[in-house]
Amino acid sequence: MPASEETDSGPVIHDHRRIDPVTGQVRGKHAASKPAGTSGAGRPAEATEAAEAAEAAEPAEPAEPSEPTGSRDEQDSEETLESTEEAPEMVTAQAVKSGQAVDFEAQLAERTADLQRLQAEYANYRKRVDRDRAAVREQAVAGTLAGLLPVLDAIDQAREHGELSGGFKSVADSLQSALGRLGLVTYGEKGDPFDPKIHEALTHSYSSDVAEDTCVEILQPGYKVGERILRPARVAVAEPATGPDGSGNEADWTDAEEDN
């Protein structure tokens, strides 16, 4: 509310409003305003002009900062320049990330190849170990069975002479069954074709009853485990006779005639 004072010349009214209602300017903080008006014995015109001049001389309070000057195009150009300055850094970061991805893919491919190679080596190792284990087992069994062959020969001789009977016969049968479960095979029969790989000829003769070299008698049976021959069958071999006397072949007989 405006305050008023009484002086010798009459009442004076002070206006404390910050904005001058006449000029629209911001008044000074401590400046005295001009009188709002006079009645009868008011201020003289000179005093009024002096007050107005004092108010104009006082500096006005700085106005609140307004928005930065400049057109929208200038601001856009500045933003574009800033983004252009930041673009090389972004491109460099993307290139680094791309290079790291390529390195990771190369390392992944290398590790995958190493793993596949290691898996193949392990599979081959297992096959080799299984094969070696089977070979060692077969060799151990073959060595044990080879040591029992004299016992089997004694049992066969006792059977041929009719001495295998009673409890001894049961033990012999059980032993042969157990050896059969371990893979021991007995071979060699009368009338088999002679094969030097699995037969051992102890005697030789000629016979008109055979068309090829034939085992006419089995002196000792042969034994094998799988494809391994523990002992060849010992046999008597007869070959075909073509001579007039039933012995030898025709060439031998012709040579004998010429010698005579």
CATH of the domain at 199: 2.30.22.10
Question: Within a domain: residue 20?
Answer: yes
In a domain, 91, yes or no: no
Q: Is residue 137 part of a domain?
A: no
pLDDT, tens digit, for every residue of 37-93? Answer: 444 444 444 455 555 555 555 554 544 444 444 455 555 555 554 555 555 556 566
| Residue of 211, 173, 213, 175 whose CA lies nearest to 193 | 213
Residue 241 inside a domain? The answer is yes
* Interval 183-218: pLDDT, tens: 899 999 998 999 999 999 999 999 888 889 999 999
Residue 108 counted as domain residue:
no
Q: In what order do the strands lie in the sheet with 199-207?
A: 199-207, 233-240, 214-220
Split into its structural domains, the chain has a count of 2
Grouping H, G, I as helix, E, B as strand and the rest as coil, residue 207 is strand
Please give the C-alpha separations between residue 102 and each of 89, 106, 216, in angstroms, as whole numbers: 20, 6, 80
What's the mean pLDDT when you consider all of the chain? Answer: 75
> Among 37, 57, 77, which residue terminates a domain?
57
DSSP 228: E
| Inside any domain, residue 164 | no
Tell whether 224 is covered by a domain. yes
Q: Give the domain extent around 237.
A: 183-259
In a domain, 206, yes or no: yes
